[in-house]
Amino acid sequence: MDEDISIINTNTRNEKIKIFFVQNKKKIFALISAIIISILVFFAFGEYKGNKIKKISDTYNSVVIDYSENNKEKTAESLVQLVNEKNPTYSPLSLYFIVDNKLISDNDRINELFDIIINEISMDKEIKNLNIYKKALYNADNSNENDLLNILNPLINSESVWNSHALYLMAEYFYSKNEKQKSKEFFNKIIDLENANQEIKLESQKRLSRDLSD
């Protein structure tokens, strides 16, 4: 008797499953199709992304290798295009090459490229901070106090590993302007900083004892 009941229950359950699939066949096929398409898109995007990165890498290497004094303008144009690709590796490298080789003389244009690197590319926080510091270095000779501080404040007001570098840059900036009291204040901030770069802290101590002692 129990065995008969079990067989009936099993048959009933199977019949319900069969009816469910028949009634929802279109929905089930649509769901399976959506899953398969999602998987294919995921792998296709991964392959596309990999191919795109390789293309950017090959382009960067080619541009740098072919660079000469005779093709500065063409090199600059190609590297600007690479910056606009917003790749976390090759966009910063392209900008560094532009700056190091003075391929663009327009400071505003260079700062626009720095802003793309800093604000529009997803990258490690400290790499982003490094680019903020590099932007400040680029502008240090031509900026006023407020502009330079505006660039460096994200580092100065943080616990970034580039904090002491930013403070040192401001200290040297004020020293070069013969504003020795302001310079001294920034050097002292480095001395008081717990996570300061040790070489920068040492240089700050030397500067204070040698050139800014009372």
Please give the pLDDT value at position 16.
56
94 domain residue, yes or no: no
Q: What is the domain count for the chain?
A: 1
151 in any annotated domain: yes
Residues in the chain predicted with pLDDT less than 70, given as ranges, are 1-50, 214
pLDDT number for residue 8: 46
Q: What is the radius of gyration, based on Cα positions, of the chain?
A: 30
What is the structure's pLDDT at 9? 47
Say how far apart CA 73 and CA 62 lie, in whole Å: 15
Write down the pLDDT at residue 54: 85
46 in any annotated domain: no
Domain, as residue range, for 164: 145-214
- What pLDDT was estimated at residue 4? 45
Please state the three-class secondary structure of 125-174 as a single string: HHHHHHHHHHHHHHHCCCCCHHHHHHHHHHHHCCCCCCHHHHHHHHHHHH
Tell me whether residue 113 is in a domain. Answer: no
Residue 104 three-state SS: coil
Taking the C-alpha atoms of residue 172 and residue 152, their distance in angstroms, rounded to an integer, is 14
Q: Provide the whole-model pTM.
A: 0.75
Assigned domain for 83 exists: no
Question: What local confidence, expressed as pLDDT, does residue 40 receive?
Answer: 46
d(CA 136, CA 120): 18
In a domain, 185, yes or no: yes
Indicate whether 200 belongs to any domain: yes
Instruction: Say which residues have a Cβ less than 8 Å from residue 48's Cβ, sequence separation at least 6.
Output: none
Within a domain: residue 88? no
Phi-psi region of 178 (alpha: psi -120 to 50; beta: other; left: phi over 0): left
